[in-house]
Amino acid sequence: MKSRPVPRLIALACVLLVIGGGSAAWSRRPPATPPGQFDYYLLSLSWSPAYCEDSPRAAECRGYRRYGFIVHGLWPQFERGWPEHCSDEVRVPEDVVQGMVDLMPARGLVIHEWQAHGSCSGLAPPEFFAAVRRARESVVIPRPLVGPTEAVQKPPAAVVRAFLDANPRLTGDEIVVTCSRQGLPRLREVHVCLNRDLAPRSCSAQALRAACRAPLLLIPPLR
């Protein structure tokens, strides 16, 4: 007696089961880069008013406090590429999360930044976020960008110049200004490159490629 062919739907289900099992195994594989192996840090300062124009319901965009630059992250970098999600074994203590709300005003942001980037630093969460604070405190925000009440348009080079004037330790190639790439370019982030001791250092060619190329960018005011 001939065996009946397996129906196409059952065969497809078997294939999906195998793929699903393979995906689960893949997700459990150890990360490619051990924590602590990187070349330098990139401090990313996000211009909150631009973000809030697109996401007004986000945590940092509600309430009475108006934010200018917030810390997006302190990212371990290679000269080419960067490590991510180097370990998922350590959780961020709640007191550490709450201690960062003045710089990173969304709980989810603090946790995400640890999982994606801080886990690659080779530091425990308290030490990593202490480094985030030291890195942020090492950068002076130019006075015109502390609390602007009106929108202005400036060339990206003028924003770089303002940071250089406010931070004599910076010479130019340690800082990158980025902007949105859709519609009218808006100030998005300022990146400052730091060595492992959190002293300024030249950004890699990869980091420099993120620089805003628009002739003018819009700087939305505090909301």
Catalytic residue among 60, 113, 174, 189: 113
Give the three-state DSSP class for 77: strand
Angle between helices 107-116 and 125-137 (to 10 degrees): 110
| Phi, psi (degrees; rounded to nearest 5) at 219 | -110, 100
Strand-by-strand arrangement of the 187-194 sheet: 69-77, 40-47, 187-194, 175-179
Residue 200 has what DSSP assignment? B
Catalytic residue among 60, 117, 174, 189: 117
- Pick from 83, 82, 78, 71: which is nearest to 43 by CA? 71
Catalytic residue among 53, 60, 72, 79: 72
85 catalytically annotated? no
112 catalytically annotated? no
117 catalytically annotated? yes
Residues designated as active site: 72, 113, 117
